[in-house]
A and B are shown apart, each in its own frame.
Chain A
Amino acid sequence: MLGYTITQWLFGILSFLAIMFALMVVFTRNPVNSVLYLVLTFFCIAGHYLLLNAQFLAVVHIVVYAGAIMVLFLFIIMLMNLNADTEPRKHIVTRVIAGVVGGVLLFVVVGALKGAEQLQIVQGGASQIGLVKNLGKVLFSEFLFPFEIASILLLAALVGAIMIGKRDTNINLK
């Protein structure tokens, strides 16, 4: 088809959708729509993982980000009842400053990417490392220490969250 393989077509379409949804996250006025566009962006990124033959990463990405974290985001935004109507109008000075800062950041990013085309892009399509079996073997042998450190970090965050939740009830009891 027009000299491109199916994979290239899929990559093009997914990239276009991912960038479009990411822009929509920023440009929609309604916070709930923003969150939903972010979920769609995550789906597109999961599609990219699939193209790289990293199925496990793709599905875990959906389970963790789309299925858990974004649901909590949605919970908070729905319960706070943020709407396009209730969003405060920003002062003109704030807007100008935000525009300038954003422009400078864009400048830095573009500058950092200058010369990126000289980098060798490793073809990932034929790699088998993303399959569950290979990933598990690597994680539990070569990268066991960082893996366990990450689990301790998560445990600490879990305990911290419970502590914050608990303190509230103690104050109420007194």
Chain B
Amino acid sequence: MTAFIIYKAIMCAAVFLLSLGVAAYATLWERKFAAFLQDRKGPSRAGPGGIFQPLADGVKMFMKEEIIPNVSNRSLFIIGPCLFMVTAVMTSVVIPWAKPMMVGGHMYDLQITDINIGTIYLLGVVSIGVYGIMIGGWASNNKFALLGAVRASSQMISYEIAMGIALIALIISSGGSLSLKDIIEGQDKGFANIVWQPLGFLIFFICALAETNRAPFDLPECETELVGGYHTEYSSMKLGLFLFAEYINMFISSAIMAGFYFGGYNFPFSSELYASLGLQEGDWLISLIGFGAYFTKIVLFICLFMWVRWTLPRFRYDQLMNLGWKTLLPLSLFNLALTVVVEYFRGNIHF
């Protein structure tokens, strides 16, 4: 029992620190990437190549003056960003990071918990994520913040639906299990799910952009046209939490996409590679190589997110709603029907 609690505590701490660390350096990488695309240098003063920039940003955020508007609902004003951050971190619980590792004669899964409804759990947490934005926007007691909150949360609600239907299609074609571990393990032998679900991946990727409030769906961020958004009244670290949670969301959704559609910690000829190195099942090197492969995919996806941000212009609000309801939703239903037909002929569905 004690060993179990220690193992779970270590896993929780490791995943939490990983999410925070990756999110912190994603902010730096975003600025470097933007600088590369715009032929600039980017942050270069704090440490060699700007390596300490996230630390400097964090200190700046903490040191700024904390303003809580007099007319705001004080407790809800504070709860809003906390809730947004909590829901951002909660999604990482069900992601398996590498193959199980043997320590002292026991196999340990490198995953905080493997619940058999992992996929629906993800959808549940994503649907709760709206509350942070709505509570924050309303509690500010500012018309523009309230309008921003309504805009952002209706965007998130609209794109959740197409995302859920794309996931149903994925679950059908990956063998019917809702557990993330089963979905990723199923791609060990044979092809990654992207081969059977190219359209589903496209829909999921667009929805992930919208859910994380990233460009081209970053309406909350356009201060020039729309007076910011739900975080207009926020300052100091509370604003920091809102902005930082976006990067955590980006990391987690990259991890989910890499796991669902690109095999997670599996890669082509992985079992041949492990055999040629003479590694047994449960060897820590297998876990390490698998995690390295997974992490590479995640980083590539984060780069894709940034590439999209610095390439595409922002959607107008009506275009965003039309895309969500009139294009992505029918397309995901079509994808679902197509998947059922294809899987019937592949022999995965029995009547």
A residues lining the B interface (CB < 8 Å):
30, 32-33, 36, 39, 55-56, 59-60, 62-63, 66-68, 71, 74-75, 78-79, 131-132
Contacts and interface: CB of A to CB of B under 8 A. Distances in A.
B124 A59 contact: yes
A21 to B, nearest CB: 15
A98 to B, nearest CB: 27
Given A78-B134, A79-B150, A67 B115 contact: no
A78 B123 contact: no
A63 B123 CA distance: 7
B135 A60 contact: no
User: Is chain A's binding surface mostly helix, strand, loop or mixed?
Assistant: helix
A63 B146 contact: no
User: Is chain B's binding surface mostly helix, strand, loop or mixed?
Assistant: helix
Q: Which of A32, A55, A63, A68 has the most B CB atoms < 10 Å from its CB?
A: A63
A56 B117 contact: yes
Nearest to A78: B138
Give the size category of B's interface with A.
20 to 34
Contacts of B127: 62-63, 66-68, 71
Q: Which of B73, B126, B127 has the most A CB atoms < 10 Å from its CB?
A: B127
Contacts of B178: 132
Contact of A74 (B120, B124, B128, B134): B134
Contacts of A63: 120, 123-124, 127
Contacts, number: 60
B196 interface: no
Contacts of B131: 39, 71, 74
Contacts of A36: 76, 135
A56 B157 CA distance: 21
Contacts of B52: none
Contact of A55 (B117, B149, B150): B117
A60 B134 CA distance: 21
B91 interface: no
B284 interface: no
Contact of B124 (A30, A67, A78, A132): A67
B123 A131 contact: no
B271 interface: no
B130 interface: yes
A78 B146 contact: yes
Interface string B45-75: 0000000000000000000000000000100
Given A36-B135, A67-B130, A78-B138, A55 B116 contact: yes
B25 interface: no
Given A32-B76, A59-B120, A78-B150, A66 B134 contact: no
B175 to A, nearest CB: 12
B117 A71 contact: no
A74 B115 CA distance: 30
Contacts of B130: 67, 71
A33 B139 CA distance: 11
